[in-house]
Structure 1
Amino acid sequence: MKSVNVVLVLLCAILPVALSFIDGLVPNGDFEEGPKPWQMHGTEVVDPHSVPHWELSGFVEYIKSGQKQGDMILPVPKGHFALRLGNEASIKTKVQVAKGLFYSLSFGAARTCAQQEQLNLSVSPNSEPKDWGMLPMQTMYSTEGWDSFSWGFLAESNEVEVIFHHPQTQKDQACGPIIDVVALKSFTLPKKSRDILQNGNFEEGPYVLPNTSWGILIPPNVEDDHSALVGWMVESLKAVRYIDSDHFAVPEGKRAVELVAGRESAVAQVVKTVPGKDYDLEFYVGDARNMCEGSMLVEVNASNSTFYVPYESKGKGGSKLAVLRLKAETGRTRIRFLSSYYHMKSDFSGSLCGPVVDGVRLVRVPHA
């Protein structure tokens, strides 16, 4: 019996076997279990099955925290190890999920070369016309040297294959993004309430990695068939940041959205309304307590009208409640939030930031 157990352990160590999954890191999603010395050539991984639960192809490196490339220290988002995807490299893993549920895939990524880098993501099986997402990585938002991203998908099987692919070819074949801390979270649809909006408090969103202080970027919907923020669309050229109360100032509850890229960073939702009826749109505007200072201005587009809500930020946290009265023009009303101004943190890091929006409610006004 002992010999059989040994064989099973060895098989699990070398094959990307699908395992039962709950919200959090996928099996070996932090890559702390890595290849043996004889499965590597320098930092390059030469055995495609040497990273437990993952299968590798192309030029993939196993990076250790503190490792240098010339004078530059390669950033490892969390823990001690990560993978770098070089020329035409890809990594994939299989995970058991619940068919028919929506999921968000969260992961940390860092750019390591001066050139623009991009990363393709796919989850299969997938019947959507566009079954992959492309994340351009020329803009980094955090001061730590890496960002965390999220990507939403609908599970069309009880087992899915998650693939990260770096499609570019550079003169330096090792040049490419570093990937770490890969996690999944299933979505729960918000319960119905007197609020017409779905998930107005933003509590249902991507998995936030424990003990990380840089939030999660949610890409625009042109890169994502299913938003990783339940009920909302990211209608902009750049991402919005999903933040948590453990590391940021959040006006209400545990989660909120930071509009980090000015007019290029917007969230929207389409709701059912009654033409000709009045509605109150309530929401909080504040700052994330992340040294984002200055005169902020949140622009709200709703029912063919545009509203502006100013907020003076000292970068130390705080918020105010805004209440707007609007009249529905049609049976479907699009409500959209964006930042009128661009902001950078006052720590001279050049990192983008912006106003926080939270606690959004749309309530029909009763008439006497």
Structure 2
Amino acid sequence: MGMAEGMMRCRCMALLVLVGVAASAVSAVSDGLLPNGNFKDGPAKSELNGTVVMGRHSIPNWEISGFVEYIQSGHTQGGMMVAVPEGASAVRLGNDASIRQNIRVTRRAYYSVTFSAARTCAQAEKLNVSVAADSGVLPVQTVYNSGGWDSYSWAFRAMHSAVWLAIHNPGVEEDPACGPVIDAIAIKTLQPPTKTKGNMLRNGDFEDGPYIFPDSPWGVLVPPMDEDSCSPLPGWMIMSSTKVVKYVDAPRYRVPHGARAVELVAGREAALVQEVRTVAGRSYRLQFYVGDAANGCKESMVVEAYVAAASLKVQYQSQGKGGYRRAMLDFVAVGNLTRVVFQSLHYHMKVDGTLCGPVVDDISLVSVHKRAARRLFM
């Protein structure tokens, strides 16, 4: 082998090594926690100044920017314990700080991201979650769980096979250590929202939705979103300025049908909405379950359904032990696009201060061939 050939082979080997290193920096993901998504692997002690992370790549699998702290369970600030949502460690994002990870995904596929967040000093904190040009601002000022933290969801459609998933705190506080605490970041592939046989609505039974942590007993919040946004609850939009609905599952809650349902935890301040194509003048029937999640929410509940020019208030007396009733609303479409809307008329709260509300599930819409009338039955 000549010198020129040897040098060429060395260059090829070096190029392969560099490609391998670059590829290893992109994490191939499957449903569940992202690599080091619970921040179990933290910075070396030499890369910490107290709790402040000093290096951009000090946290394994993550890249940070700005004032980021590595918080462990039991950490106190100003005489108060800082909530670590899950596990033993988390990160806190200070003023204009962010944390991101490069992940390998399937191009054009839909994904939901679930993460837990706890508020610290500020009363009106927000988090900006983004993948490339897609982004969403999630309000975290209301705490729905008595433990001091909640799990949030956000969704995106992958336009490339490798993307940067980032969580950014856009807040500016006098104390940079007053940002929200982030923990347990997971991902899930969503199915494109499709209709099932005998139902004009997409994902009417809520069986497809964001990832729910197996050991978390508080469900996942689905935040408000623009009408053009990708939804972590396929087929459905959440219309609100700052409030949410909660996505719950059968292992930890009582759901009327199947394995998933939606709990309306924000009263009139949040609406569950889906738009469906209809024929003006044609009769349709909307059916759905209203119940409670067996989570101790003992209240007299009312869910109001709006569709076309019709509405129906469904009352449900909850004992907090689970149960449901079936409701039906017949109506005549007034246009070629009809909005189906659900709201809880009242706020509800458990004795421990946790916000709660009625559960809706198994929503179906079908065309009928008779004059419209309203009916409600058990």
Counterparts in 2 of 1:115 and 1:273: CA distance versus 1, 3 Å: closer
Identity %: 49
**Residue equivalent to 2:275:** 270
Shift of 1:367: 5.7
Q: 2:245 maps to what in 1? A: 240
1:352 corresponds to: 355
Q: CA deviation at 1:274?
A: 2.5
Partner of 1:315: 320
Normalised by the length of structure 2, the TM-score is: 0.89
Tell me the equivalent position of 2:265: 260
With over 3 angstroms needed to count, the CA separation of the structure-2 counterparts of 1:224 and 1:73, relative to structure 1, is: farther
Among candidates 136, 141, 166, match of residue 139 of structure 2: 136
Give 2:3's aligned residue.
none
Give the whole-Å Cα distance in 1 for the aligned partners of 2:139 and 2:277.
34
Where in structure 1 do 4 or more consecutive aligned residues deviate above 6 Å? none
Which 5+ residue runs of structure 2 have no aligned equivalent? 1-16, 372-378
Aligned to 1:361, which of 359, 364, 367? 364
Aligned residue number for residue 175 of structure 2: 172
Larger Rg belongs to: 2
* Paired residues of 1:218 and 1:239 also in contact (CA < 8 A): yes
Residue 23 of structure 1 is matched in structure 2 by: 31
Task: Give the structure 2 partner of residue 147 of structure 1.
Answer: 150
The Cα of 1:272 is off from its aligned counterpart by: 1.7
Distance 1:49 1:36 in 2: 11
The structure-2 alpha-carbon separation of the partners of 1:242 and 1:16, relative to structure 1 and needing over 3 Å to count, comes to farther
Kindly provide the amino acid, as one letter, of the partner of residue 292 in structure 1: C
- 1:179-190 → structure 2 map (5 Å cutoff): 179-189=182-192, 190=194
| 2:117 aligned partner | 109
State the distance in 2 between where 1:16 and 1:83 align: 23
- Structure 1 residue 54 and structure 2 residue 62: aligned? yes
Alignment partners' CA distance in 2, 1:223 and 1:348: 35
Residues 1:301 and 2:309 are matched in the alignment: no
Aligned partners of 1:107 and 1:179 also within 8 Å: yes
2: CA distance, partners of 1:138 / 1:15: 38
Which moved further from structure 2: 333-342 or 71-80? 71-80
Q: 1:367 and 1:178 mapped to 2: Cα distance?
A: 55
**For 1:192, which of 176, 196, 201 is the aligned residue?**
196
CA distance in 2, matches of 1:15, 1:165: 25
Deviation at residue 150 of structure 1 after TM alignment:
0.5
Q: Does the 8 A contact of 2:136 with 2:225 survive in 1? A: no
Structure 1 residue 70, shift from structure 2 partner: 2.8
Aligned length: 352
Cα drift, residue 275 of structure 1: 2.4
Q: Deviations over 1:303-322 (max 9, x none)?
A: 11121111111111111111
The one-letter code of the counterpart of 1:327 is V
Over aligned residues, Cα RMSD in angstroms? 2.1
* CA displacement at 1:135 relative to structure 2: 1.7
1:102 Cα deviation after fit: 1.2
The TM-score, its normalising length taken from structure 1, stands at 0.91
Q: How does 1:212-223 map to 2 (within 5 A)?
A: 212-222=216-226
The offset of 1:191, in angstroms, is 5.5
1:114, distance to aligned residue in structure 2 (A): 3.9
Q: How far apart are 1:16 and its partner, in Å? A: 8.4
Q: Does 1:75 align with 2:83?
A: yes
Verify: 1:249 aligned to 2:254, yes or no. yes
1:271 Cα offset (Å):
1.0
**Residue 4 of structure 1 aligns with which residue?**
none
